[in-house]
Amino acid sequence: MAAIHCLHPRWLIPIEPRGLVLEQHALVLQGSQIIDLLPSEAARQRYQDAAHQVLGDHALLPGLINLHAHSAMSLLRGLADDLALMDWLNNHIWPAEARHVSDEFVYDGTLHAMAEMLRGGTTTVNDMYFHHEAVARAGLTAGMRVVVGCSILEFPTAYGLHADDYLGKALTARDAFHGESLVGFSLAPHAPYTVTDATFGKVLTMAEQLDMGIHCHIHETRDEIEGSLKEYGMRPLARLQALGLLGPNLVAAHVVHANDAEIALLAKYGVHVAHNPASNLKLASGFARIHAMQQAGINVGIGTDGAASNNRLDLLGDTRMAALLAKAESANPTALDAATALEMATLAGARALGLADRIGSLVVGKQADVIAIDLAALETQPVFDPLSTLIYAAQREQVSHAWVAGKQLLKERELTTLKLDQMQAKARWWQSRIAVGRSDTTS
């Protein structure tokens, strides 16, 4: 029988019910699960033989869930900044990927990203990239929970030749990791402007037959919408509705440009939205109407996007940004309060991934995906309301501990499964290699 571990934080924030803060309570872990949540004194009496860990000035909460990321692109951080989206993609990112993306690149880049995310309190990532088996292997190496989004496009890349080739590779990777509890797979058609109606139809059929989620960039820019109107005579969401793609298994990334009718449409079909505030700002994509979406009943989680367009995989920081932007965009200072923002970064992400019965809140019977954030620092004192402090004042550097399925991956700011010096050396090696490739094309 697995040993019992009792965590005694200053504040315990279960997320369910929303806004609840428990003081002088303990969270009890055994193996991969949460087995109890009770007052600290009662825990000491009930579990006398357990290991008891006091986290005196810490808030204990579920691990954060990054609902949209391209993890391997951590190796392209800073490669092409201060550019418009299509210029950034067509003239910089896609050419660099064509030259360098490989199984090794994706494994190294994903592992690098996971180290950064774990140090910032993210324990689950909904990824979208190529070389799916490399992403899954990186997740298993790090011990992090990952949903591997298998990218699908019409045109050839260094990974695939055409849509059917990408779909075939997605199935092969899914089968290779069947039974791995920390690894899931979804189908990730890149965007309406890179995927045809016929391919969307195949994605939908495959997703329904295999009970897989769908992960897609939707309504990220005005150019995307204008292009769809010219080519199809309708906006992208209307096209996806006509194709039968809208539904509760769809995670729509960005959704920056949605009018009232489209927000109602998303709510009607139960589509989940992955809000990427930092990337939207940096690429000047616009201001997503998050308050209106939530008022309509849409489930909205938080994503970082890739480090090439963010440039920080800092979900805690992006959640703060989301709260501030929602207030400004809606001209309503009460929009997106701290408790709701924290739920977006945890339970909302779990709902979007179909994992709310396993992660996203500290509930008995769920998986022990847990983080501790030390609020003793000068910058987060005094603490009148720990929820407010976490969203508006705390920084990712204050994340001190992290567990995934009960396994400790971060202990007093030190990673337990990954070696930072090795990953830093790998990043420098890739930097020199990519820099040479850039100079060759510009000389």
Strand partners, 300: 273
pLDDT of residue 35 exceeding 70, the answer is yes
For residue range 398-438, what is the model confidence (pLDDT) as tens digits?
Answer: 999 999 999 999 999 999 999 999 999 999 999 999 988 66
For residue range 206-260, what is the model confidence (pLDDT) as tens digits?
Answer: 999 999 999 999 999 999 999 999 999 999 999 999 999 999 999 999 999 999 9
pLDDT of residue 91 exceeding 50, the answer is yes
| Largest Cα span, the chain | 72
For residue range 381-395, what is the model confidence (pLDDT) as tens digits?
Answer: 999 999 999 999 999
Q: Which two tokens stand for residue 332?
A: 């309503």
Q: Which CATH architecture has domain 4-62+362-412?
A: Roll (2.30)
Distances (CA, A) of 137 to 107, 203, 237: 7, 24, 34
Q: How far apart are CA 281 and CA 268, in angstroms?
A: 28
Q: For residue 209, what is the enclosing H or E element?
A: helix 197-210
Tell the CATH topology of 64-352. TIM Barrel (3.20.20)
Cβ 39 vs Cβ 25: under 8 Å: yes
Residue 85: the pLDDT is 78
For residue range 115-142, what is the model confidence (pLDDT) as tens digits?
Answer: 999 999 999 999 999 999 999 999 999 9
How would DSSP label each residue in 6-54?
Answer: EEEEEEE---SSTT--EESEEEEEETTEEEEEEEHHHHHHHTTTSEEEE
Q: What is the mean pLDDT of the chain?
A: 96
Residue 94: the pLDDT is 86
Cβ 65 vs Cβ 30: under 8 Å: no
Cis before 386 (ω within 30):
no
pLDDT of residue 66 exceeding 90, the answer is yes
**Residues forming CATH 2.30.40.10 domain(s) in the chain:** 4-62+362-412
The values of phi and psi at residue 77, to 5°, are -60, 125
Q: How far apart are CA 332 and CA 290, in angstroms?
A: 12
- Of the listed ranges 44-53, 82-91, 147-156, the least confidently predicted one is 82-91
Residue 84: the pLDDT is 81
Average pLDDT of the segment spanning 258-268: 98
Residue 83: the pLDDT is 86
Residue 437: the pLDDT is 62
Residue 201: the pLDDT is 98
Distances (CA, A) of 303 to 253, 288, 441: 8, 13, 32
Q: How far apart are CA 9 and CA 412, in angstroms?
A: 14
Residue 440: the pLDDT is 52
Average pLDDT of the segment spanning 290-302: 98
Which of the 8 DSSP states describes residue 380?
A: G
Residue 438: the pLDDT is 63
Average pLDDT of the segment spanning 185-214: 98
Give the pLDDT band (50/70/90) at residue 148.
Answer: very high
pLDDT of residue 335 exceeding 60, the answer is yes
Residue 149: the pLDDT is 98
Average pLDDT of the segment spanning 179-203: 98
Helix residue ranges per DSSP H, 300-419: 315-330, 338-344, 347-352, 386-392
Average pLDDT of the segment spanning 103-113: 98
The values of phi and psi at residue 274, to 5°, are -100, 105
Residue 443: the pLDDT is 39
**Residues forming CATH 3.20.20.140 domain(s) in the chain:** 64-352
